[in-house]
């Protein structure tokens, strides 16, 4: 610091006052340029990290499914990322961020095809701490992750085409509506509702859309036997599930870290800590809860617990300290175990626990801001109203969409195909052609 002061002191003494002012101005400009470059760069890196979550979803879902359905699960995940970004470009981004609006719904429109997105200052700090393109790609990655939550819950019995239609409608038209309500400056934002990175807008949205889809679709054949007995359908690869969850943790650094919407050192570093520690809390809680309740520590439940913790902290990662984050994650980890058991008990078949991890824990994470949030003024009532209205929107629209799809093109594969596996039935391909699998 001292040499710099001496140098600038020496500089100003050799220049006239006007020249010195102009030089210090250009230093200030250079500094804010550097800040813009850093903020923008971080948003782009965060977008790439959120993309990694798709690797996580693909492996978690296929690992928890049977080997005979692996190609189908991977195909759905491949479709979702390809579709999600494109529909968000074609409609969603503008529908979610209309600038002005009635607070409830805004028409979508395609993004610009120009190099500068239609305006030079869209590429400068007059737009935001990042360019229009960075804004778009970061938000587009979020939209795609909301769709993939549904794909896990409906796995192993949904018709491929029906899923593609339903998911496309949900991501294109419905996701931007609730996104607008809060992040686009709509009525929830006006009410003071807070959802830092999407416990409600992404996770509860996806979880409750999934719940509706599963209700219309029905459980896998033979899963629920008469007399209340449940026949477990074993996932075919625990290594894939574990790898997937660790990839999701990695991606979450971008999901939450990027939601600061700048490279603010204090906030981003806080969010890294709260995010990770909530994951730990969730994992530990699920490990011990499953150990106590089920007599054995269940790996898949423990991994679900990590995700539950992450979903739980996503609404308020920047609004609480690490110990509160740990508690929020821990409670999510306990909730998710009981939730998975509960949904099975009431015969709602969710092969990956998506409804519990994203739907239920998404609600919890949102409410937790009202309990533990110290960065501002939060009310549990507002958090309740906001989270439940988004959950209701997702549930009702998903229900209607899948009922319509069922009526028009059918929703479920035939019983024969379900038994033989969707890989052969829908794709004419096998995931593991060299192995004579039992499943």
Partner 1 sequence: MKLVKAIIKPFKLEEVKEALSEIGVEGMTVTEVKGFGRQKGHTEIYRGSEYTVDFLPKVMLDVAVPDELVAKTIDAIKNAAKTGKIGDGKIFVLPIDEAVRIRTDEMGDSAI
Binding interface with partner 1 (CB under 8 A)? 230-232, 234-235, 293-296, 298, 300-301, 340-341, 344, 353
CB of 95 or CB of 300, closer to partner 1: 300
Of 289 and 319, CB closest to partner 1 = 289
CA dihedral 398, 401, 404, 406 (to 10 degrees): -60
CA 143 – CA 202 distance, rounded (Å): 7
Least separation in angstroms between CB 230 and partner 1:
4
End-to-end CA distance of the chain: 67
Query: Please, which residue, 361 or 411, has the CB nearer to partner 1?
Result: 361
Shorter beta-carbon distance to partner 1: residue 341 or 380: 341
Distant-in-sequence, close-in-space partners of 99: CB < 8 Å, separation ≥ 6: none
Provide φ and ψ at 326, rounded to 5°. Answer: -60, -45
Nearest distance, CB of residue 156 and partner 1, angstroms: 14
Distance of closest approach, residue 154 Cβ to partner 1, in angstroms: 17
Task: Quote the least distance from Cβ 153 to partner 1, whole Å.
Answer: 14
Choice between 230 and 250, CB closer to partner 1: 230
Smallest separation (angstroms) from partner 1 to the CB of 344: 6
C-alpha 107/C-alpha 109 separation (Å) is: 7
Residues 171 and 205 sit within 8 Å (Cβ to Cβ): no
Sign of CA dihedral 152, 158, 160, 166: negative
> What would the two tokens of residue 273 be?
């800590």
Exposure class string for 414-431: b at 16+ Cβ within 10 A, else e? eeeebeebbbebbbeebb
> What are the C-alpha distances in Å from 113 to residues 72, 89, 247, 272?
34, 10, 33, 35
Taking the complex as a whole, the smallest distance from the CB of residue 294 to partner 1 amounts, in Å, to 6
Residue closer to partner 1 (CB basis): 286 or 383:
286
Cα pseudo-dihedral 199, 252, 184, 270, rounded to 10? 90
CA 324, 309, 377 angle in degrees (round to 5)?
40
Identify which of residues 34 and 294 has a Cβ nearer to partner 1 in the complex: 294
- Which residues are within 8 A (CB) of 86 and not within 5 positions of it... i.e. 6 or more apart? none
Q: How far is the CB of 296 from partner 1 (least distance, A)?
A: 6
Cβ proximity to partner 1: between 234 and 392 the closer is 234
């Amino acid at each position: 610091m001292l040499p710099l002061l001496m140098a600038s002191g020496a500089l100003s003494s050799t220049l006239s006052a006007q020249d010195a002012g102009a030089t210090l101005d250009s230093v200030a400009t250079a500094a804010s340029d550097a800040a813009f470059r850093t903020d923008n760069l971080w948003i782009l890196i965060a977008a790439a990290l959120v993309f990694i979550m798709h690797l996580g979803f693909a492996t978690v879902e296929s690992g928890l499914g049977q080997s005979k359905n692996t190609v189908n699960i991977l195909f759905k995940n491949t479709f979702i990322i390809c579709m999600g970004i494109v529909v968000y470009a074609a409609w969603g981004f503008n529908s979610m961020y209309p600038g002005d609006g009635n607070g409830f719904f805004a028409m979508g429109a395609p993004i610009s095809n120009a190099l500068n997105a239609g305006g030079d200052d869209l590429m400068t700090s007059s737009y935001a701490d990042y360019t229009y393109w960075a804004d778009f790609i970061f938000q587009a990655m979020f939209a795609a992750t909301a769709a993939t939550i549904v794909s896990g819950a409906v796995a192993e019995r949904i018709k491929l085409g029906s899923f593609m239609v339903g998911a496309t409608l949900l991501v294109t038209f419905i996701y931007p509506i609730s996104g607008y309500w809060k992040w686009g400056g709509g009525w929830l934002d006006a009410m003071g509702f807070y959802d830092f990175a999407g416990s409600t807008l992404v996770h509860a949205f996806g979880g409750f859309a999934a719940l509706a889809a599963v209700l219309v679709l029905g459980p896998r054949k033979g899963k629920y036997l008469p007399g209340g007995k449940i026949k477990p359908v074993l996932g075919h690869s625990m290594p894939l599930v574990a790898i997937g969850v660790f990839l999701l943790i990695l991606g979450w650094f971008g999901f939450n870290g990027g939601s600061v919407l700048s490279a603010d050192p204090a906030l981003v570093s806080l969010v890294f800590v709260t995010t990770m520690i909530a994951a730990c809390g969730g994992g530990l809680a699920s490990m011990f809860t499953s150990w106590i309740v089920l007599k054995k520590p269940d790996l898949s439940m423990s991994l679900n617990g990590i995700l539950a913790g992450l979903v739980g902290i996503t609404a308020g990662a920047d609004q609480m300290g690490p110990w509160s984050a740990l508690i929020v994650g821990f409670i999510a980890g306990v909730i998710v175990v009981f939730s998975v058991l509960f949904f099975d008990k009431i015969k709602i078949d969710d092969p990956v626990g998506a409804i519990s991890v994203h739907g239920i824990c998404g609600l919890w994470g949102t409410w937790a801001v009202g309990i533990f949030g110290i960065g501002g003024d939060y009310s549990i009532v507002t958090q309740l109203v906001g989270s439940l209205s988004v959950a209701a929107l997702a549930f009702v629209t998903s229900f209607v969409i899948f009922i319509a799809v069922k009526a028009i093109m059918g929703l479920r594969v035939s019983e024969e195909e379900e038994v033989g596996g969707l890989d052969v039935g829908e794709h004419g391909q096998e995931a593991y052609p060299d192995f004579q699998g039992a499943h």
